[in-house]
Amino acid sequence: MRIHIPGALRSYTGQQTEVEVGGATLAQALDALDQRFPGIRFRIITEQDTVRPHIRIFINDRQTFHLAKPLRDDDDVYVVCALSGG
Partner 1 sequence: MPSSTNVTTSGTVTLFIGTRKGAFILKSDRTRRTWKLSAPIYLGHIIHHMVCDPRDKRMVLMAASTGHLGPTIFRSTDGGKTWKESTAPPTFRKLPEGEKGRTVGHVFWLTPCHANEPGSWYAGTSPQGLFRSDDGGATWKPFSYINDDPQYIEWMGSAQDGTPDGPKLHSIIVDPRDPKHLYFGMSGGGIHESIDGGKTFAPLIKGMETVEGFDASVVTYHDPHCIRLCPSNPDRLYHQNHCGIYRIDRPSTEWVRIGKTMPKKVGDIGFPMVVHPRNADTAWVFPMDGTTVWPRVSPEGKPAAYVTRNGGTKWIRQDKGLPRSNAWWTVKRQAMTHDTHGLVGLYVGTTQGEIWASRNEGSTWTCIARHLPEIYAIEAAVLGR
State the Cα–Cα distance between residues 31 and 40, nearest whole angstrom: 10
> Does 27 participate in binding partner 1 (rule CB under 8 A)?
no
Helix runs in the chain, H state only: 26-36
> Does 38 participate in binding partner 1 (rule CB under 8 A)?
yes
Site string for partner 1, 44-83 (x = CB under 8 A): xxxxxxx-xxxx-------------------------xxx
Question: Are 13 and 39 within 8 A, CB to CB?
Answer: no
**Closest to 21 (Cα-Cα) out of 41, 2, 39, 5:** 2
Smallest gap, in angstroms, from Cβ of residue 85 to partner 1? 3
Closest CB to partner 1 among 51 and 71?
A: 51
Question: Are 37 and 13 within 8 A, CB to CB?
Answer: yes
Please pick, from the candidates 22, 42, 60, 65, the single residue that binds partner 1 as defined by CB under 8 A.
Answer: 42
Given the rule CB under 8 A, which residues bind partner 1? Answer: 8-9, 38-39, 42-50, 52-55, 81-85
